[in-house]
Structure 1
Amino acid sequence: MDAENCFHCGNEIIKKDEVLFDDKKFCCNGCKTVYEIFSLNDLTCYYDFQSSPGATPQDIQGKYDFLDNEEIVNKLLDFQESNTHIVSLYIPHIHCSSCIWILENLQKLQSGISTSQVNFPEKKVRITYNSEKTTLKEIVYLLSTIGYEPYISLENFDEGKKKIDRSLIYKIGVAFFCFGNIMLLSFPEYFEVEEFWINQYRGFFRWMVFALALPSFFYSASGYYVSAWKSIKSGMLNIDIPIALGIIVMFVRSTVDIIFGYGQGFFDSMAGLVFFMLLGKLFQQKTYDFLSFERDYKSYFPIAITKILPNGIEESVQVYDIEKGDRLLIRNQELIPVDGILISENGSVDYSFVTGEAVAIEKKSGDKVFAGGKQIGKVIEIEVLFSVSQSYLTQLWSNDVFQKRVEQQHKTVTDKISRYFTPALLALAFISFIYWFFIDITTAFNVFTAILIVACPCALALTAPFTLGNVLRILGKRKFYLKNALVVEQLAKVDTIVFDKTGTITTNKKTSITYEGEPLNDFDLKLLKNALRGSNHPLSRRLYDFLPNQEKIATTSFEEVIGKGIFTTFEKGSIKLGSSQFLEHMSENTHKKTKVHVEVNGVYKGSYVFNNQYRKGLEQLFATLSKKYQLVILSGDNDGERKILEKMLPSSTVLVFNQKPEQKLQYIEQLQQNSRNVMMVGDGLNDAGALAQSNIGIVISENVNVFSPACDGIVDASKFESIGFLMNYSKNAMKTIYMSFGLSLLYNVVGLSYAVTGELAPVVAAIIMPLSTITIVSFVTIMSNLFARNK
């Protein structure tokens, strides 16, 4: 094979064009050049993933000269800040693990590229590069040189990436036409009609059947041959190998029958097999498309943002209600959800969510700010350029930089079964064929094809992803927003739940606030209100809402120390507020209540006392969870409310107070060292470290922009009392997976027992196969919806 096919792309070599290099044969200089590039950069293991995985590079000289135009490049970029640029390119040639590997190692081929991530289902690669070291044009030429030319449509870039593939529909149409007509022409054979049939038309109709079988065999079933061939070349056995083998054997045997006059063969069974299998594939594809649509467009996680109305009133709105031209208020540590223009005098934006580098970039009025940035320091205002892209926010949330390395148990189970299933299936088919060959050749053939068809593990492979995808959809409708399907599995393993106190088990909305100390005058209140305006801390938001409206004045500096307090300066004064330790000259209060102390122009004024209102259903939730989990309250506040919590919560609940953010992280780490599987529930503002350290981090969202890459899930505050349901449902989801695994294997065992004994015709097996897929999908849908209703 190596002597006749190109080492790089696998195409047949025309002798006059043959190129020899490094003891290997190539079909052209282009393929030789690609191999040479990989060889020089120590990337030849590209060829270890799959034999001849590459594509022949095309001559594109001058084709991408339009990328010299800066205005055009800016339209194609996802992100552009100083010298860091990010672009997503659609690459049609992506098809295997070799493609993923080489495209995620582009930094070895071009120094300006820092990272590249492949989205395999969408055939896209997201490239982050330094614009001072390389350009988009150079990157596109590099990709084209190594056989991965991107598709770029200037007029309709987004739609170009989402072309609808109708080839499966066409193949099903052809298969159905062939199957129906073959069955129609076969009626005389079925009913053994002799009078009219015996004379001169039997041969004619048989060859008509043969002609009708050709499109089904060569066109409709072609995908199975391609997949099987690629699988054999890569040394990995997939289920398409026995399916393709069964179709080919059926076609060859039927052709022999017609040529030698033994009968009309099994063309009806073959056409029926192809039709029903393609129908099953379409059903599976539509199922995935439906889940994808539900996930991408309906399961919005509740990121809220503050919108400034024309009359100056500020209101909290969902991000997907934002429109072009709206004016938004962005506070300290708050995510910028859309591209916009900075209206405020200046700002400082951290793009670590996008680039992974936590270096704040200074902005001035009129500068463009990109979605995914995080404001650092004083409050800013921006004008929206584009409405929010939920898929872009989801992409940020799922950035590999912030992914936790979790064990993919359900994938491992599926992979293990598939790895041994195909060889075992082939062995069983050949053994059964040999056994029946000495008894009855026709039965032997029937048994062989029926085994290959009926044992297709499509339903087995569909079980885990479909169950978890359906679970994500159901949870999204109930305002539980999980990062990905693996989080469901991790939730099922949790044995310890750690809750933050302020903003998590306490609500921001119902709080009784009183003031103790020297009365604040109008000027003091104005400074206090404007200082609080820039903070996202739960106590700051509550106090801000509690104070009467004041004239808005600009800050000259804003500093917020996480977990301690705020120091803000204005043109005509300064204000410091927070804990007693943060104000330094104050001693800890003896009553141990939650307080925010106030100091104006260096003079201590007094403190606001918070009588916390705990969330509805807290006692019942903890009573339920304590039966299955170790519960911990981990708070940065003093222990003034210890006695209240001890009365409210189960006696087994561990209460830990006066914890700084770094101490919370260390506490989680200590639990994990004691073999505990920890879920942290917090507000996402001052416990990001603990959320990232925990096995599962869940953020409670209450009219605050709490988008955080550290968390694995976001729960709407209104669903706080339903966290018990979330935990129980995740366990039931895993039960559903194992039950459907068992159901799928039971189907295979029963089907094979009939196939081996010769009591199952191939066409019946072909009908049963998609039915098994429908059965599994129906089963997991019913079970996951049933468990969702179960209180």
Structure 2
Amino acid sequence: MDQLSEDKTCFHCGNSCDTVEIKFDDKSFCCNGCKTVFEIFSESNLTAYYEMQNSPGAIPKINEGKFDFLKDAQILEKLLEFNDDAIQIATLYIPHIHCSSCIWILENLNKLSPEITSSQVNFNKKTVRITYQSQTTTLKDVVLLLSRIGYEPYISLDDHSDGKTHINRSIIYKLGVAGFAFGNVMFLSFPEYFEVNEFWLDQYKPIFRWMMFAFSLPVVFYAGRDYFISAYKGLRAGLLNIDVPIAIGILVLFLRSTIEIIFDLGQGFFDSLTGLVFFLLLGKFFQQKTYSFLSFERDYKSYFPIAVTKIVSETEEIPIQIYDIKKGDRLLIRNEELIPVDGILIKGKAAIDYSFVTGESETISKFSGDKLFAGGKQTSGSIEMEALKEVKQSYLTQLWSHDIFNKNKEDAFVNLTNTISKRFTISILSIAVISTIFWLFYDASKAMNVFTAVLIIACPCALALAAPFTFGNILRIFGKHKFYLKNASVIEQLAAINTIIFDKTGTITSNKKSTATYDGIPLTSDEERLLKNTLRGSNHPLSRTLYDILKVNDIVTLDSFEEHIGKGVQASLKQNAIKVGSANFVGQQELQKSLKTSVHISSNDIYKGKYTFYNSYRTGLSKLFNNLKQYYDLVILSGDNEGEQENLKKLLPTKTKLLFNQKPEDKLEYIKYHQTEGAKVLMLGDGLNDSGALAQSEVGIALSENINIFSPACDGIMDASVFHKLEQFLITSKRAIKIIKWSFLLSLLYNCVGLYFAITGQLVPVVAAILMPLSSISIVVFTTIASNWAGRKLA
């Protein structure tokens, strides 16, 4: 018989089966619900769920009528973040998420229900983002499935993304219990503190001691249970997490104190025990409040440097930041641009790629009057839409950071905190054991105090806080300066860069200041109008430059539009067709190769001529390159010809590598080859032709110049106006690493001093518990002040 059956504990949830025991497959279950979940998992070959942790499930609570409100269209509209003809997406809060088993089963929901195409867990927020086929299932069906397997979601229509601080209430309850018990235990300990011997000695001493024991029970088994749970799960997974020494310290204090009062050896350490848990929770509470506050303060999302074109009138279009979009605004979405907000299609033929949202790259055709959802990417020319709401900024950044597009560059990058702190716990445990053994022989009365004080004073919370607070603040500062990074790990990788590669057109050249001259057969008015509207739909830097140069023409809806990356664009209107791009693309063989950047034009397959561009380089380019050359290898990879080679040689420092006529795949292979030779590459490009190179590099930065290119390939987006600050951004990244190292040094010094007093028996556990959160707060203050100081250098 299965061991769990003998113990009469539920194989699914771990509850006792003494009252009701249901047998199935030689296993015991406490109710039919748990048995049903096991059957579901067995039929779907998901029984590995039980191998990760014994009895990881919860008793399923099924009340189908409870979720009838999910049939209401208005409620669904508020709950769904994406709702198309075939696919719906909802993010649900699951309170029961607590371990790796939960993550595993929730991310394998597609095996339980084929209609669910993907599910993604955010463990910290206890949410699961579910994508499902709306034609064959409903949100209610999904919620009922979750309920049947013991993960009933908590559904609320409240929007908690308002920047307010939300504190976990359970910590407040536990803090209250620990504080109440601590106060009473201290009061009951006074007679022993002052050595009152008269009436106390014989009559009340045992009563007071057992009362202290009683007060300690809820402190250890309720208020302090999170430390035991965390330590237990870590040990089961083969990890020594930071809660292991704390849990051991609490347990040792409790057992030692209990033994002392049972055998009348003394009053024990119940005052230290309850005080320890109280101050630990108090420190955690303030850390949580502080972290939540700083998380809101460093909400760099509002600085996201992406612009969208607002149509003011038939002849006026202006770029605006996406967070300035208001309901009712008319927006122009060009080819390859992201739809920043839900809206209604007004004009144009939309072919929307919702892979940012759903992970499926199939394009969906939309027509005038259809609803468009934020996160979709227009792939067939320009369209006009009316905004239905303001931008929910966090939604766009959530899409950008979606795991579907994570390149897992950090997998090969060793995290600084992990490098320093992974051996911390085992070192502290060794010191505690060795110190205790010494005191057992030298002065046994101090041994337990020493053991507990060492475990508490050396808590590595400060190590755990240094990196997130420093990087979080640096991200906020970068955001204020219009440099937005995908996540904190990019800062560490920026600090390790030794090679910087630049694209030329649109990266080191400015689209706004460039000029062009036309050489060829004059264009008719119809051809000029078609050319202007064709360029209007493209986001290529040369297209944007030429669009701005050409005179105003009527805005028309094209019959067709197609952009060929790295080659050109073509479009048609009624009986006329036009091609704009390279000479080969428009069907022209150049008799004499031009050394200037040119865009060729053909109309109805008849070659018309070319526009020759005169590049204007970004302000401060020469100074920037001269400064960077001292520390980095610099390379320019350009898809253009060598026409600007001499100008660049005059502008840039010697030994800067200049490579021309590079196709997108050539850039990618160049980076890949040099990475095998030890290069740590930072790539700066325009986000269109360079997506492969941006993805291959350690850090890929897309330069934004009033365009809405939202590439999953890039790790950061830099506003073109701060291009000259690139060196300062790199220096600040290195300073951030130094700040963290200084934080580790301060923490080390604190631990050495604290350990000295603990090992020598001069530090009682309750004082250690007070000092521990103070050390964490000091690290938070130091990293915040230091990172703000480093950020001031960017001004």
The TM-score, its normalising length taken from structure 1, stands at 0.92
1:491 aligns with 2:487: no
Give the one of 48, 51, 56 matched to 1:53: 56
Give the one of 171, 175, 182 matched to 2:174: 171
Q: Classify the secondary structure of the residue corresponding to 1:382.
A: strand
> 1:377-388 alignment to 2 at 5 Å?
377-388=380-391
Q: Which amino acid aligns with 2:535?
A: L
* Structure 1 position 711, deviation (Å): 0.4
Q: Classify the secondary structure of the residue corresponding to 2:601.
A: strand
Change (3 A) 1:615 1:281: same
CA distance in 2, matches of 1:310, 1:189: 85
Per the alignment, residue 771 of structure 1 pairs with: 774
* Structure 1 position 170, deviation (Å): 3.5
Please tell me whether the aligned partners of residues 665 and 693 of structure 1 are also in contact (alpha carbons under 8 angstroms). Answer: yes
Per the alignment, residue 570 of structure 1 pairs with: 573
Q: Which amino acid aligns with 1:606?
A: G
* Structure 1 position 603, deviation (Å): 4.4
* Structure 1 position 668, deviation (Å): 2.4
Per the alignment, residue 716 of structure 1 pairs with: 719
* Structure 1 position 510, deviation (Å): 1.4
Please tell me whether the aligned partners of residues 300 and 390 of structure 1 are also in contact (alpha carbons under 8 angstroms). Answer: no
Per the alignment, residue 64 of structure 1 pairs with: 67
Q: Which amino acid aligns with 1:88?
A: T
Change (3 A) 1:412 1:79: same
Q: Which amino acid aligns with 1:469?
A: G
Q: Classify the secondary structure of the residue corresponding to 2:65.
A: coil
CA distance in 2, matches of 1:463, 1:525: 59
Per the alignment, residue 674 of structure 1 pairs with: 677
Residue by residue over 1:322-347, the C-alpha shift from the partner in whole angstroms, topping out at 9 and shown as x without a partner, is 12221111111111111111111532
Per the alignment, residue 122 of structure 2 pairs with: 119
Give the one of 27, 32, 35 matched to 1:32: 35
Change (3 A) 1:8 1:732: farther
1:80 aligns with 2:83: yes
Please tell me whether the aligned partners of residues 8 and 55 of structure 1 are also in contact (alpha carbons under 8 angstroms). Answer: no
CA distance in 2, matches of 1:409, 1:784: 26
Please tell me whether the aligned partners of residues 474 and 788 of structure 1 are also in contact (alpha carbons under 8 angstroms). Answer: yes
Per the alignment, residue 138 of structure 1 pairs with: 141
CA distance in 2, matches of 1:409, 1:268: 48
Change (3 A) 1:606 1:449: same
Q: Which amino acid aligns with 1:446?
A: N
Q: Which amino acid aligns with 1:366?
A: G
Per the alignment, residue 641 of structure 1 pairs with: 644
Q: Which amino acid aligns with 2:500?
A: I
Q: Classify the secondary structure of the residue corresponding to 2:144.
A: helix
Please tell me whether the aligned partners of residues 339 and 375 of structure 2 are also in contact (alpha carbons under 8 angstroms). Answer: yes
* Structure 1 position 715, deviation (Å): 0.8
CA distance in 2, matches of 1:366, 1:55: 46
* Structure 1 position 44, deviation (Å): 2.2
> 1:278-677 alignment to 2 at 5 Å?
278-296=281-299, 298-309=301-312, 313-408=316-411, 414-415=417-418, 420-520=423-523, 522-571=525-574, 573-587=576-590, 590-677=593-680
CA distance in 2, matches of 1:588, 1:748: 75
Please tell me whether the aligned partners of residues 336 and 372 of structure 1 are also in contact (alpha carbons under 8 angstroms). Answer: yes
Q: Which amino acid aligns with 1:442?
A: S
Q: Which amino acid aligns with 1:747?
A: Y
Change (3 A) 1:724 1:124: same
> 1:175-194 alignment to 2 at 5 Å?
175-180=178-183, 182-183=185-186, 189-190=192-193
CA distance in 2, matches of 1:82, 1:513: 46
My pick for the range that moved more, 196-205 or 416-425, is 196-205
Per the alignment, residue 696 of structure 1 pairs with: 699
Q: Classify the secondary structure of the residue corresponding to 1:707.
A: coil
Give the one of 98, 102, 113 matched to 1:99: 102
| Identity in percent | 59
Q: Which amino acid aligns with 1:480?
A: F
Please tell me whether the aligned partners of residues 299 and 481 of structure 1 are also in contact (alpha carbons under 8 angstroms). Answer: no
Change (3 A) 1:458 1:485: same
Change (3 A) 1:621 1:305: same
Q: Classify the secondary structure of the residue corresponding to 2:7.
A: coil
Please tell me whether the aligned partners of residues 10 and 16 of structure 2 are also in contact (alpha carbons under 8 angstroms). Answer: no
* Structure 1 position 482, deviation (Å): 0.7
CA distance in 2, matches of 1:427, 1:26: 42
CA distance in 1, matches of 2:662, 2:738: 38
Please tell me whether the aligned partners of residues 581 and 588 of structure 1 are also in contact (alpha carbons under 8 angstroms). Answer: no
RMSD of aligned Cα (Å): 3.1
Change (3 A) 1:274 1:329: same
Give the one of 780, 788, 791 matched to 2:783: 780
Give the one of 225, 236, 241 matched to 1:222: 225
My pick for the range that moved more, 318-327 or 267-276, is 267-276
Q: Which amino acid aligns with 1:762?
A: P
Change (3 A) 1:31 1:233: farther
Gaps of 5+ in 2: none
Give the one of 105, 110, 113 matched to 1:110: 113
Please tell me whether the aligned partners of residues 299 and 473 of structure 1 are also in contact (alpha carbons under 8 angstroms). Answer: no
Per the alignment, residue 19 of structure 1 pairs with: 22
CA distance in 1, matches of 2:435, 2:668: 60
Change (3 A) 1:174 1:62: closer
Q: Classify the secondary structure of the residue corresponding to 2:506.
A: helix
Change (3 A) 1:416 1:696: closer
CA distance in 1, matches of 2:59, 2:9: 10
CA distance in 1, matches of 2:444, 2:581: 88
1:759 aligns with 2:770: no
Aligned residues: 790
CA distance in 1, matches of 2:578, 2:619: 35
Please tell me whether the aligned partners of residues 504 and 683 of structure 1 are also in contact (alpha carbons under 8 angstroms). Answer: yes
My pick for the range that moved more, 350-359 or 227-236, is 227-236
CA distance in 1, matches of 2:342, 2:712: 19
Q: Classify the secondary structure of the residue corresponding to 1:392.
A: helix
Q: Classify the secondary structure of the residue corresponding to 1:750.
A: helix
Change (3 A) 1:507 1:12: same
Residue by residue over 1:359-391, the C-alpha shift from the partner in whole angstroms, topping out at 9 and shown as x without a partner, is 221111111111111112221111112221111
CA distance in 2, matches of 1:623, 1:501: 17
CA distance in 1, matches of 2:393, 2:55: 38
The TM-score, its normalising length taken from structure 2, stands at 0.91
* Structure 1 position 311, deviation (Å): 6.5
CA distance in 1, matches of 2:642, 2:238: 63
Please tell me whether the aligned partners of residues 408 and 486 of structure 1 are also in contact (alpha carbons under 8 angstroms). Answer: no
Residue by residue over 1:11-39, the C-alpha shift from the partner in whole angstroms, topping out at 9 and shown as x without a partner, is 33232412333333322232233223323
Residue by residue over 1:453-479, the C-alpha shift from the partner in whole angstroms, topping out at 9 and shown as x without a partner, is 112222222233333223222222222
CA distance in 2, matches of 1:552, 1:357: 32
Q: Classify the secondary structure of the residue corresponding to 1:504.
A: coil
Residue by residue over 1:515-534, the C-alpha shift from the partner in whole angstroms, topping out at 9 and shown as x without a partner, is 33444454443333222211
Per the alignment, residue 687 of structure 2 pairs with: 684
Q: Which amino acid aligns with 1:470?
A: N
Q: Classify the secondary structure of the residue corresponding to 1:62.
A: helix
My pick for the range that moved more, 254-263 or 625-634, is 254-263
Please tell me whether the aligned partners of residues 349 and 380 of structure 2 are also in contact (alpha carbons under 8 angstroms). Answer: no
* Structure 1 position 422, deviation (Å): 3.8
Change (3 A) 1:410 1:288: farther
* Structure 1 position 7, deviation (Å): 5.0
Q: Which amino acid aligns with 1:743?
A: L
Q: Which amino acid aligns with 2:652?
A: L
Please tell me whether the aligned partners of residues 242 and 452 of structure 1 are also in contact (alpha carbons under 8 angstroms). Answer: yes
CA distance in 2, matches of 1:551, 1:83: 37
Change (3 A) 1:727 1:418: closer
